[in-house]
Amino acid sequence: MKPFLIAFLVFASSQIALAESAKAKKIEIPGYTMGSHELKTAPYTMKDLESLQKSLLFGEEDVKALKMSKAILADQTDAILDVWYGFVASTPELVYFFKNNKTGQPDGAYLASVRKRFAQWILDTADANYDQAWLNYQYEIGLRHAPAKKNKTDKVDSVKLVNFRYIPALTIPITTTLKPFLAKKGAKAEDVEKMHQAWLKAVLLQSILWSQPFVKDGQF
């Protein structure tokens, strides 16, 4: 076998191994099912998504700003989650939704599983493709906050739903506390502002989509 062919096969094998490793890492996130064929098709369409984006003044510049933010935030997810979890822990109205019904106390294992998905959510929000797979997963996330699937993903005995009013409300603490992290890597002030505004729109967009299971049929 010629040397260049051997080298090519070694390189190809290494790339396959890396791809499999990356795939395995995603599988390790408890309950993370983005792109799974097992997900239900979202009841809202790609056309609905486009109309909603227009209503939010969300465009290509926002997509670019979000993708710019990924490189800045990728190695800061733990620190970001420390801030977000600290806020939840200090807010009884929010930590309530992680309560173990038997003990009456926050369920540590439940919080830990959600945290891993939350870290991936940061990256997914920054790098979203806004395709059908993404749309289906938004519907899944909505179901997991509603009685339809709350607690089922993590097999926990907790409260039956997250009251919807808190979901859009969290847009403010999430995006407000994120802004200092966007500024930590030396980005220009105007770029930090663009990224922050894009995040504000992206989080609000998702919270609106997550509302569908809470809305009466035909009224979403």
This prediction has a pTM of 0.86
Q: What's the token pair of residue 126?
A: 């920054």
Distance of CA 162 to the CA centre of its chain: 16
Does position 213 have pLDDT exceeding 70, yes or no?
yes
Q: How many CB atoms lie within 10 A of CB 137?
A: 22
| Region of 218 on the Ramachandran plot (φ > 0 left; ψ -120 to 50 alpha; else beta) | left
Residue 1 DSSP class? -
Q: How far is CA 16 from CA 22, 78, 135, in A?
A: 10, 29, 28
Q: What is the pLDDT of residues 100-147, one digit of tens each?
A: 999 999 999 999 999 999 999 999 999 999 999 999 999 999 999 999
HSE-up of 61 (CA within 13 Å, CB side)? 9
Q: What's the token pair of residue 91?
A: 């807010």
Q: What is the pLDDT of residues 161-174, one digit of tens each?
A: 999 999 999 999 99
Does position 210 have pLDDT exceeding 70, yes or no?
yes
Q: What is the pLDDT of residues 181-208, one digit of tens each?
A: 999 999 999 999 999 999 999 999 999 9
Among 24, 29, 35, 34, CA closest to 117: 29
Distance of CA 171 to the CA centre of its chain: 12
Domain ranges of the chain: 57-214
Residue 15 is predicted with a pLDDT of 41
HSE-up of 199 (CA within 13 Å, CB side)? 29
Check: CATH 1.10.490.10 for 57-214?
yes
What mean pLDDT is predicted for residues 40-66?
98
Mean pLDDT value across the chain: 91
Integer Cα distance of 171 and 152 in angstroms: 25
With cut-offs at 50, 70 and 90, classify the pLDDT of residue 27.
low
